[in-house]
Amino acid sequence: MRIRGALVVVVVLAAVLIAWQRPDPFSPERTVRVALADATTLRPGSEVRIAGTRAGQVDRIRRAGDHAEATLRIAEDAGPIRRDARVEVWPRLVFEGNAYVELRPGSADQPALGDRTIPIARTTAYVPVDRVLRLADAPTRAAIRGAAQGLADASDRTTTGAVRRTIARLPRVLGRARRVADAVRGPAA
């Protein structure tokens, strides 16, 4: 009886994993190589998106001279990848540390990428927050505090009062702008 229960648990877990990952064994894939100045936040298995939609994943990352080269596995039905394709590495969450790849496939009037590598000149990567914070030595922190204090001083009570009065008048101004826009549009058909 215990063996049956364990078998049922394994089958259910496998079904949940398959449904979650949605693999399609019949969907052909192709590879795209990308040269990156910094790939520290990417991992094999990181998501690749085209127009915000999952289109593949990072297969592997290797060092290639003074830069990194990522190999992306892209679903064949994601459309053609052109020579002017661009790649952007974005964080999944601000403080998480892992990222995804946004692939912009390029212009329709350009030839196919083929076996070429997307060069570093057409790739960008975000700078992780922890790396930015490491740059803030004592003089930098003092300068940031001074700039913040300057902004606070600039937004005294008279400034905030003026902003509050402007916001209070916006409905009247926008109402008049709507009447002008309606008049310019002409009579309704």
What are the tens digits of pLDDT across the range 34-51? 999 988 888 899 999 999
Confirm if 80 and 112 have CB atoms less than 8 A apart.
Answer: yes
Q: What is the model's pLDDT at position 110?
A: 92
Q: What is the model's pLDDT at position 27?
A: 57
Q: What is the model's pLDDT at position 120?
A: 93
What are the tens digits of pLDDT across the range 52-81? 899 999 999 999 889 999 999 999 888 899
From the list 85, 82, 71, the residue with the least C-alpha distance to 42 is 71
Q: What is the model's pLDDT at position 82?
A: 93
Q: What is the model's pLDDT at position 101?
A: 93
From the list 80, 81, 41, 75, the residue with the least C-alpha distance to 61 is 41
Q: What is the model's pLDDT at position 49?
A: 94
* Residue 175 neighbours by CB under 8 Å, 6+ apart: none
Instruction: Of 18-27, 28-37, 130-139, 146-155, give the range with the top mean pLDDT.
Output: 28-37
Q: What is the band of 178 on the pLDDT scale with cuts at 50, 70, 90?
A: confident
What the block records as the tokens of 125 is 């990567």
